[in-house]
Chains A and B, each alone.
Chain A
Amino acid sequence: MKRFLFIFLLLLSCSSYALDYRQLPDPKQQETYETLTKELRCLVCQNQTIADSNADLAADLRRQVYEMLLQGKSRQEIVQFMTDRYGDFVLYKPAFKGKTSILWIAPVIFLLTGLITVFLFIRRKKAAANLRSQTGALETDAEKQKKIRSLLEKGDPS
């Protein structure tokens, strides 16, 4: 048990910060720093946030965020600063506007299309089942039973 606990604790230690760590005096600002660097895209390695990335530019942008927070700039002002320079692309959570609307709307459209398809599919199946039970269902059942009985009595002919 002790050994497992030890291994478990070792595993936890791996998730510490691998990059430059910065401590802001105000815990609220620290929180903003940590969330912001996770929402800004590193433009060199495009699928990483600036918090994740080791690229030089990411380090510069982290420093920029840190300095702006120290100057008492708000989250909004920093986001504005970044989009003024790098465009909406720098944001992992882009603002909802004309150019970015498809990003936000497309998943809803896909979900609705999926739901409608499933709904239509179920309804059609149900309708078909109803139709069968109303018309020749009994007849075919009787026929089937006859076949089954004959198979049971004679054994499988094949």
Chain B
Amino acid sequence: MLKYIIPLLLFIIMAVFLAVGLNLKPGEIPSPFINKSAPEFSAPKLNAPEEKLTPADLKGQVWLFNVWASWCVSCRAEHPILNQLAQQNAVMIVGLNYKDEPGAAKNWLDTLGNPYNVSIMDQDGRIGIDYGVYGVPETFVIDKKGVIRYKHTGPVTAEDVQQTFLPLIAKLQAESL
């Protein structure tokens, strides 16, 4: 009897490991930023490089921090979704124009529409490093106190907006400062 049980057990253990392994998404690295303060930055605005934006300027409101670039193909797929979200006026959307040419970035916004309340420039990728950015696009949800509450890696889909972003934003808007 034991002779059959041991191989069976080994098989089950292996099957469980393989099943778990199949369902893992190695592209999605857990972010160490959840429930931590949004890292500081002071970055020039894309449309007005002489003006700078810091997270402190955004205190008291819920904002999305969306990392994008004109060279990023998935950003193009994500863009209409962000435009729609911007039309709903549910949340402030801040863009981090990551390792991009200002000219190319402006051109991109002119042709595809600009969902961002403001975009800031990170030409050498330092703000990106501070936010642990490793794949563009990435989207952070930051609450009124300036704490990162959620991070989405990869393009945001309409489904993500309905099921994750809008409920979370509504919840965070209801929180008091």
Contact = CB atoms under 8 A, between A and B. Distances in A.
A133 interface: no
Interface residues of A, number: 14
Main secondary structure of the interface of B (DSSP, over half): loop
Nearest to A44: B134
Given A57-B134, A60-B128, A60-B129, A43 B32 contact: no
B29 A89 contact: yes
B125 A85 contact: no
B26 A60 contact: no
Given A43-B134, A46-B26, A57-B134, A83 B32 contact: yes
A61 B134 CA distance: 11
A61 B26 CA distance: 20
A84 B129 contact: no
Nearest to A87: B32
Contacts of A56: 99, 125
B154 to A, nearest CB: 13
A56 B124 CA distance: 10
Interface in B32-85: 32-33
Interface string A52-87: 000011001100100000000000000000011111
Mostly helix, strand, loop or mixed at chain A's interface? helix
Of B31, B124, B134, the most chain A CB neighbours within 10 A belong to B134
A143 B109 CA distance: 94
Interface of A: 43-44, 46, 56-57, 60-61, 64, 83-87, 89
Given A43-B135, A85-B132, 14 more contacts: A44-B135, A46-B27, A56-B99, A57-B133, A60-B125, A60-B126, A60-B128, A84-B32, A85-B33, A85-B129, A86-B29, A86-B134, A87-B30, A87-B132
Interface of B: 26-27, 29-33, 99, 124-126, 128-135
23 contacts: A43-B135, A44-B134, A44-B135, A46-B26, A56-B99, A56-B125, A57-B125, A57-B128, A60-B124, A60-B125, A60-B128, A61-B129, A64-B129, A84-B32, A85-B129, A85-B131, A86-B29, A86-B132, A86-B134, A87-B30, A87-B31, A87-B132, A89-B30
